[in-house]
Amino acid sequence: MNKNWITAYGQQPLYIAGPCSAETPEQLRTTALAVQQLGIKLVRAGVWKPRTRPNSFEGVGVEALKWIQEIKKETGLAFAIEVANPLHVEAALQYDIDVLWIGARSTVNPFTVQEIADALQGTDKPVLVKNPINPDLSLWMGAFERLKGRGIDKLGAIHRGFSSFAESRYRNIPAWQIPIELKRLMPDLPLICDPSHIGGDSLMIEGISQMALDLDYDGLMIETHPTPAEAWSDAKQQVSPAQLQEILSRLRKRDPASQHPEFADKLEEIRDQIDQADREILEALHRRMELVGRIGEYKRNHNIAILDLKRWNEIFESRPQWGKKFGLKKSFIKELYKLVHQASIKMQTNILNNKKEKY
């Protein structure tokens, strides 16, 4: 796999902009010309649209590929579209679309991804894979493995956030740790953020984009429409070319690392202290687990059930309160204690069943 293919589409970070959906030849051409003015070389446009409910606009289909062909001839721009089945792949290749992407609803289905990979065999088009809608890193990685298995090596990942039942200010929660883990496990894969589908709101694009750049992402894909309010899909989250220009001008590109010796020294000093704090956390965690183990044995000897809901409620209420004193966010401490409690239950279950393994 090589990461260098993205340099063919502009400087890093790579910017991809364009409408959620291709609607009319004029809308597509106006957007393409406007984003080209901003120095963007790769335009996105949905040709077939996966909609959650039927009877909404499902894309104009092959007709839009003809518009793209015309605009490409006129401007020299490159285009990226979503493909969701072998027929889409065939049409996209026939119309010489430059970059293809697999959408979030397709990435969840290994049959679909395999069919798309099979249809792509033999092309050297770059293929981007959006994260699956559910927070499952293996499924995302599996899609890259299927594509690699068919000889596709210009690959890239698009982080578009994950569905969640819980109330959230995001349309799709970012769960940044998942793409970061993907970056750790597949470091040669370019990672692109799609703040439009994460935020679901044009006002959130800038903040999410800045976060992505601060995490050293390789690019951004931002839905752009000449008149967002009138868009046939995803109206709320699209920005106008003028808004896009403003957002891009405000984004700060920080260096991933500094070569300055003084900076490195200071960083190392603080990191030493973090290492020490982590050792203390682990020691305390070990001490806590030993105590949990003692209770487990005590419960086993007296034939008492493991889960004590009253005690768990007490912990779940009090610890976030204790953390508040130190300025620790309640939601963070709650998540932390869910993990600790899960490990404690597992340990006591093992003790109850006289298993050797403790946790």
Q: How far is the CB of 130 from Mn ion (least distance, A)?
A: 11
What's the rounded Cα separation, in Å, for the pair 108 and 84?
11
Site for ligand PEP contains 160 (CB under 6 A):
yes
Site for ligand PEP contains 151 (CB under 6 A):
no
Task: Please give the DSSP secondary-structure letter assigned to residue 10.
Answer: S
C-alpha torsion sign, points 137, 140, 143, 148: negative
In the list ligand PEP, Mn ion, none, the entry touching 103 (Cβ below 5 to 8 angstroms by class) is: ligand PEP
Which phi-psi region, left, alpha or beta, contains residue 15 (left: φ > 0; alpha: ψ -120 to 50)? beta
Binding site for Mn ion (CB under 5 A): 20, 234
Site for ligand PEP contains 129 (CB under 6 A):
no
CB of 222 closer than 8 Å to CB of 195: yes
Site for ligand PEP contains 171 (CB under 6 A):
no
- Quick one: which of 103, 195, 199, 241 contacts ligand PEP (CB under 6 A)? 103
Contact characters 41-80, ligand PEP, x per CB under 6 A: -----x---x------------------------------
Task: Kindly tell me which of 125 and 160 has the beta carbon lying closer to Mn ion.
Answer: 160
- Strands 191-193 and 219-223, by their bridges, are parallel
In the list ligand PEP, Mn ion, none, the entry touching 333 (Cβ below 5 to 8 angstroms by class) is: none
Task: Kindly tell me which of 198 and 212 has the beta carbon lying closer to Mn ion.
Answer: 198
Q: How far is the CB of 146 from ligand PEP (least distance, A)?
A: 17
- Residue appearing with tokens 């390789």: 218
What's the rounded Cα separation, in Å, for the pair 200 and 196?
6
Site for ligand PEP contains 104 (CB under 6 A):
yes
CB of 146 closer than 8 Å to CB of 110: yes
List Cβ neighbours of 243 (8 Å cut-off, separation of 6 or more).
202
Task: Kindly tell me which of 237 and 348 has the beta carbon lying closer to Mn ion.
Answer: 237
Task: Kindly tell me which of 14 and 333 has the beta carbon lying closer to ligand PEP.
Answer: 14
Task: Kindly tell me which of 16 and 117 has the beta carbon lying closer to Mn ion.
Answer: 16
Q: Token pair for residue 205?
A: 């694009």
What's the rounded Cα separation, in Å, for the pair 12 and 212?
13
Stretch that binds ligand PEP, among 65-73, 97-105, 111-119, 281-289 (CB under 6 A): 97-105
Q: How far is the CB of 339 from ligand PEP (least distance, A)?
A: 29
Q: How far is the CB of 160 from ligand PEP (least distance, A)?
A: 4
Any idea what the Cα angle at residue 101 is, between residues 45 and 59, rounded to 5°?
A: 40
List Cβ neighbours of 87 (8 Å cut-off, separation of 6 or more).
none
Q: How far is the CB of 20 from Mn ion (least distance, A)?
A: 3
Q: How far is the CB of 92 from ligand PEP (least distance, A)?
A: 15
Q: Where are the alpha helices (DSSP H) in the chain?
A: 25-37, 62-75, 86-94, 104-107, 110-120, 137-149, 177-185, 195-199, 205-214, 241-250, 261-301, 309-324, 330-352
CB of 220 closer than 8 Å to CB of 193: yes
Q: How far is the CB of 101 from ligand PEP (least distance, A)?
A: 8
CA 320, 323, 328, 331: dihedral to nearest 10 degrees? -10
Site for ligand PEP contains 197 (CB under 6 A):
yes
H or E segment to which residue 43 belongs: strand 42-44
Contact characters 8-27, ligand PEP, x per CB under 6 A: ------------x-------
The type of residue at 159 is: H
Q: How far is the CB of 335 from Mn ion (least distance, A)?
A: 29
Stretch that binds ligand PEP, among 26-34, 98-106, 142-150, 300-308 (CB under 6 A): 98-106
In the list Mn ion, ligand PEP, none, the entry touching 299 (Cβ below 5 to 8 angstroms by class) is: none
What residue ranges bind ligand PEP (CB under 6 A)? Answer: 20, 46, 50, 103-105, 130, 160, 197
